[in-house]
Amino acid sequence: MSEGVLLVGASGLAREVLTAGMVGVTGILDDDLDLQGTEIAGVPVVGLTGDATRRDEQLLVCIGPSASRRTVVRRLLKFGVPEQRFATYVARSARIGLSSTVGIGSIVLDGVVVTADAAIGRHVVVMPNCTIAHDGILDDFATLAAGVALGGSVHIREAAYIGMNASIRQGLQVGGSATVGMGAAVLEDIPADQTWAGVPARRLEDAR
């Protein structure tokens, strides 16, 4: 494998990773034909997602929505990209407890605090200034928008999305592919595939 990293997705998230100080980025892959040959934050768009199979840099998937990110990762794996080619990025200003772990392919941006015995899975995105307290678990492809606060022992299931500045009480679970609206205060478990918002948070269809 050669040195360097290719970002997958010419997105706002890619620009955040670049401006946070990630080094060694050699280019960006994106399936938008209009972006080919352009630059994103000074880094050239050098091909389509499928071109990853013809190159040997590491890959960092910079796609914000959880489900879309999962689809792209699965597509790359189907193309034959091995899991070990995926890079992980943790910003220098993020604080990760010594007993906590960050999985392959994940992105942890500026100002994030992860305390004791937390586990961040694969291809998770944690946006700036989030707090993940002790024993938190973020399953693969979960997304925390900026400013999210998770109490101790919170479990965010696969591909769930937690909106900006939402807070989740300790010991709770957010089900797979669920969505929590920005600014929500979550005081009970959220089932899979549901959307909750408000203070206290309620299922949207129940709040009408």
DSSP-assigned letters across all residues of the chain: --S-EEEES-SHHHHHHHHTT---EEEEE-S-GGGTT-EETTEEEEE-GGGGGG--SEEEE---SHHHHHHHHHHHHHHT--GGGB--EE-TT-EE-TT-EE-TT-EE-TT-EE-SS-EE-TT-EE-TT-EE-TT-EE-TT-EE-TT-EE-TT-EE-TT-EE-TT-EE-TT-EE-TT-EE-TT-EE-S-B-TT-EEETTTTEEGGG--
Are residues 113 and 71 part of one domain?
A: no
Question: Do 185 and 133 belong to one domain?
Answer: yes
pTM metric for this prediction: 0.94
Task: List, for the chain, all residue ranges whose pLDDT scores fall below the cut of 70.
Answer: 1-2, 206-208
Judgement on whether residues 44 and 97 belong to the same structural domain of the protein = no
Q: Is residue 208 part of a domain?
A: no
Give the CATH number, domain containing residue 184. 2.160.10.10
Do 80 and 93 sit in the same domain of this protein? Answer: no
81 located within any domain: yes
Provide the pLDDT for residue 204.
92
pLDDT 10s digits, 89-99: 999 999 999 99
Domain that holds residue 15: 5-85
Q: Which of 85, 111, 144 finishes a domain?
A: 85
Indicate whether 10 and 97 sit together in one domain.
no
Q: What is the pLDDT of residue 1?
A: 45
The total of structural domains in the chain comes to 2
The verdict on residue 67 lying in a domain is yes
The residue out of 32, 52, 85 marking a domain boundary is 85
CATH of the domain at 58: 3.40.50.20
203 occurs within a structural domain: no
Residues 109 and 57 in one domain: no
Same domain, 95 and 124: yes
**Are 75 and 97 within one domain?**
no
Domain-ending residue, one of 85, 118, 141: 85
Q: What is the structure's pLDDT at 205?
A: 77
